[in-house]
């Protein structure tokens, strides 16, 4: 059986840098930080009091009030981004039996879960819960709502693998299409974990930056003084499609997905393997699946969360996989601008990789002040300013708690 080619025909986004793809890319290419003081709740007593929120968000701008109340914020973000991607792909007239929705979210409806538990704790012990509590909370409500709104009757599910969730969804959609189980899929991911429980929980893990005096420089991947990630929220969506199907209907094609790799660290529930062996394996698997050599990759959008251990392990792995070619690569962490969207990270970082191919611009790693002596300074981390270069092949890396590793490889379309 010959595998079918898979291309990207639609993009959508709602992010800390902007509420559509154009605004998102403008912020990325200009090196804008999305970090600011938290407005979602009173964070004055928390160790971390800033995050990368979607700015000036009002659900009434997107949904009738009654409809919006039936969806958790992470689902609202999913529907908004997917609406833009579907419109961009112009899916009018396609066979909806052959269109799937494969989505990623690491946490799901945390805001809903927290609110319902808080309300119960404040009451008299009588169990009074919103009838939409469970449908709003469960992670698959995102893919379900996208499917219902658009009438897509193909494969429909959500992947949950912590911060690798969105990339796993993209790889799953890629595989379903190339195996002939669907012709089109809406994929990507969303997260909305900027809540008391989310911030408090990650603070307890000592995982987040506490640079409250200068939030915009809080996320500083590969900097010597990095002190943890900055929490982000939002969604990135892609429409992916079988190549001949897209060509037959005259679709605009942004890039081709040529490979996806998965692996596990099998090491620790939260800490990365300091040897980077799982990360080595996932990139090797992705390159093997793509049928290309390391020397063909131009840009890696790294996981790069701004944690002391994780950043170093990933860079060691890149040097092991790419050898001398590592010095020809552009490497950057767009989390320095967007913060860490957890299960939604792979969605917006896939967009960043595809847009780098489209525009011939590598978005920067901002907030670099001091070289880390443990990292090879000869590598091109694209520090502080975007760089122009032709990007034919881009790799997007995402790694999650539990040791989940995923790499996706995109290439400029070849006829």
- Active-site residue numbers? 163, 303, 340
**How far apart, in Å, are the Cα atoms of 206 and each of 20, 111, 307?**
32, 21, 10
Q: Three-state DSSP class for 361?
A: strand
Integer Cα distance of 383 and 103 in angstroms: 32
> 39: helix, coil or strand?
coil
Q: Which residues pair with 369 in a beta bridge?
A: none
Q: 196-204 and 110-122 helices cross at what angle (nearest 10)?
A: 100
d(CA 61, CA 64): 8
Cβ-proximal residues to 217 (8 Å cutoff; 6+ apart), any chain: 33, 211, 367, 369
Q: Strand order of the sheet with strand 156-159?
A: 156-159, 99-104, 184-191, 234-242, 6-14, 255-264, 404-411, 393-400, 299-301, 330-332
Our separate counts of H helices and E strands in the chain read: 13, 14
Helix (H, G, I), strand (E, B) or coil at 337: helix
Rg of the chain over all Cα atoms, to the nearest angstrom:
20
DSSP H or E run through 103: strand 99-104
- As beta bridge partners, residue 12 has 237
Asked if 229 and 339 count as a contact pair (C-beta separation under 8 A), the reply is yes
SS3 state of residue 8: strand
């Amino acid at each position: 059986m010959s595998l079918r080619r898979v291309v990207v025909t639609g993009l959508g986004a709602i992010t800390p840098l902007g509420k559509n793809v154009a605004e998102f890319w403008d912020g990325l290419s200009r090196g804008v930080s999305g970090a600011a003081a938290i407005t979602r709740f009173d964070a004055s007593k928390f160790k971390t009091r800033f995050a990368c929120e979607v700015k000036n968000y009002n659900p009434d701008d997107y949904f009738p009030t009654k409809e919006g109340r039936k969806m958790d914020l992470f689902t609202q973000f999913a529907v908004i981004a997917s609406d833009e991607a579907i419109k961009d792909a112009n899916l009018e007239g396609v066979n909806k039996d052959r269109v799937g929705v494969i989505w990623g979210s690491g946490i799901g409806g945390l805001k809903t879960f927290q609110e319902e538990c808080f309300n119960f704790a404040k009451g008299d012990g009588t169990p009074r819960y919103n009838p939409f509590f469970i449908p709003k909370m469960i992670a698959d409500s995102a893919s379900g709502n996208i499917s219902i709104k658009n009438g897509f009757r193909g494969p429909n599910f959500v992947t949950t693998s912590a911060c690798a969730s969105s990339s796993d969804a993209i790889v799953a959609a890629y595989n379903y299409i190339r195996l002939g189980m669907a012709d089109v899929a809406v994929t990507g991911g969303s997260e909305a974990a900027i809540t008391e429980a989310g911030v408090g929980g990650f603070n307890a893990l000592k995982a987040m930056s506490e640079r409250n005096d200068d939030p915009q420089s809080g996320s500083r991947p590969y900097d010597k003084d990095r002190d943890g990630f900055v929490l982000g929220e939002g969604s990135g969506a892609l429409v992916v499609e079988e190549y001949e199907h897209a060509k037959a209907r005259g679709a605009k094609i942004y890039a081709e997905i040529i490979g996806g790799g998965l692996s596990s660290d099998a090491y620790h529930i939260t800490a990365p393997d300091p040897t980077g062996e799982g990360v080595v394996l996932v990139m090797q698997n992705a390159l093997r699946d793509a049928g290309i050599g390391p020397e063909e990759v131009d840009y890696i959008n790294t996981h790069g969360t701004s944690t002391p251990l994780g950043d170093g392990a990933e860079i060691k792995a890149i040097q092991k996989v790419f050898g001398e070619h590592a010095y020809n690569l552009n490497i950057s962490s767009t989390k320095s601008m967007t913060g860490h969207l957890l299960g939604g990270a792979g969605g917006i970082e896939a967009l960043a990789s595809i847009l780098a191919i489209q525009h011939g611009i590598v978005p920067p790693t901002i907030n670099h002040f001091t070289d880390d002596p443990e990292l090879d300074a000869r590598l091109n981390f694209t520090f502080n300013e975007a760089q122009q270069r032709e990007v034919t092949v881009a790799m997007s890396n995402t790694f999650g708690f539990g040791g989940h590793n995923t790499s996706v490889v995109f290439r400029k379309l070849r006829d």
